[in-house]
Amino acid sequence: GQQVMQIPQYQHVQEGEDFTTYCNSSTTLSNIQWYKQRPGGHPVFLIQLVKSGEVKKQKRLTFQFGEAKKNSSLHITATQTTDVGTYFCARNAGNMLTFGGGTRLMVKP
Partner 1 sequence: DGGITQSPKYLFRKEGQNVTLSCEQNLNHDAMYWYRQDPGQGLRLIYYSQIVNDFQKGDIAEGYSVSREKKESFPLTVTSAQKNPTAFYLCASSTRSSPGDTQYFGPGTRLTVL
Is residue 39 close enough to count as binding partner 1 by CB under 8 A? no
Asked whether the bond before 39 is cis by omega within 30 degrees of 0, the reply is: no
DSSP code per residue over 78-97: S--GGG-EEEEEEEEETTEE
Cα distance between residue 104 and residue 106, in whole Å:
7
Size of the site for partner 1 (CB under 8 A): 25
Is residue 92 close enough to count as binding partner 1 by CB under 8 A? yes
Is residue 99 close enough to count as binding partner 1 by CB under 8 A? yes
In the complex, least distance from residue 96 CB atom to partner 1, rounded to whole angstroms: 6
Say if CB 74 and CB 7 are below 8 A apart: no
In the complex, least distance from residue 1 CB atom to partner 1, rounded to whole angstroms: 6
Residues near partner 1 (CB under 8 A): 1, 6, 30-31, 33, 41-45, 48, 50, 88, 92-102, 104
